[in-house]
Chain A
């Protein structure tokens, strides 16, 4: 998997929004669409698009459930997503260490 290479930058995580989504999910929690939208200060449309991109890359899994008869979207980081985030952080740390 080339994206897990800590010597290269993962283009998908260069977006602040996508990086924020994966960071919020990094603890393993399952987070709702509205929580992510409010936490990251995004619009519904923007968050949907970015989540779709991360889902297409298999970085997160999306689940829809009904709460009080209303549909809610929840998502969770996948092992691939966690690996990509770890590699990204290692890359950042490596660049900062080199000065």
Chain B
């Protein structure tokens, strides 16, 4: 086997692996949905606290979460259908889903049971930490924008701690943008790849 052929074989394998990776759907619409919920819910919580309307916090979050879960189920169904139609059932998509499926019940359990009390400022900080872990994992499994978003969330936690009157707003904006911006980048990239593949 000559060296040129070996190099060609390696190049060929790399090209095939890259082409398959292009078909992996990170679930960008789901991330954009939950990012939007963070951007509404967290500053909303702050506003309700500042206006003495704490009773509305639970109701607001139940409403937002219900919308989030309904949209998530719809998007998961669409992604699954598209994957089967395209002929790609991605293991990375499954791993990303698994990460969030582990983080979410933990966050809900700790919040609802009050296991997370107030030494660092409240459940908003717990959720920020969980989002930071989830986004960082997506960065490792999928692409680096998510990792940058995860790091930004971790950086925002101590900043919010030192600005407690604005903590939920700071965390909400960073968590929201941390989901929305990489989600839009991923969506744009996927559309670009689809157009390239169709043209090829």
Chain A interface residues (CB < 8 Å from chain B): 9, 16, 19-20, 23-36, 39-40, 65, 67-68, 72, 74, 89, 92, 95-96, 99
Contact = CB atoms under 8 A, between A and B. Distances in A.
A14 to B, nearest CB: 8
B87 A36 contact: yes
Interface string B1-36: 101001101101100110111011000000000000
Contacts of B90: 27, 29
A27 B13 contact: no
Contact of A29 (B1, B6, B12, B89): B89
Contact of A31 (B3, B13, B20): B20
A29 B91 contact: yes
B86 interface: yes
B10 A40 contact: no
B9 A33 contact: no
Contacts of A30: 88-89, 91
B85 interface: yes
Given A34-B87, A72-B87, A92-B6, 14 more contacts: A9-B1, A16-B12, A23-B13, A23-B17, A24-B17, A25-B20, A27-B90, A28-B91, A29-B90, A30-B88, A32-B89, A35-B87, A68-B85, A89-B13
Interface in B80-94: 84-92
Given A23-B13, A27-B92, A28-B91, A96 B3 contact: yes
A95 B84 CA distance: 39
A72 B84 contact: yes
A24 B90 CA distance: 12
9 contacts: A9-B1, A20-B16, A30-B88, A32-B86, A32-B89, A35-B86, A35-B87, A89-B13, A92-B9
A96 B88 contact: no
Interface string B85-109: 1111111100000000000000000
Interface string B57-99: 0000000000000000000000000001111111110000000
A26 B86 contact: no
Given A16-B12, A92-B9, A92-B10, A27 B21 contact: yes
A24 B20 contact: yes
Nearest to A73: B87
Nearest to B90: A29
B85 A29 contact: no
Interface in B126-166: none
A74 B87 CA distance: 7
A31 B12 CA distance: 18
Q: Considering the complex of A and B, which 4 residue pairs feature the smallest CB-CB distances, nearest first?
A: A32-B87, A35-B87, A28-B91, A30-B89
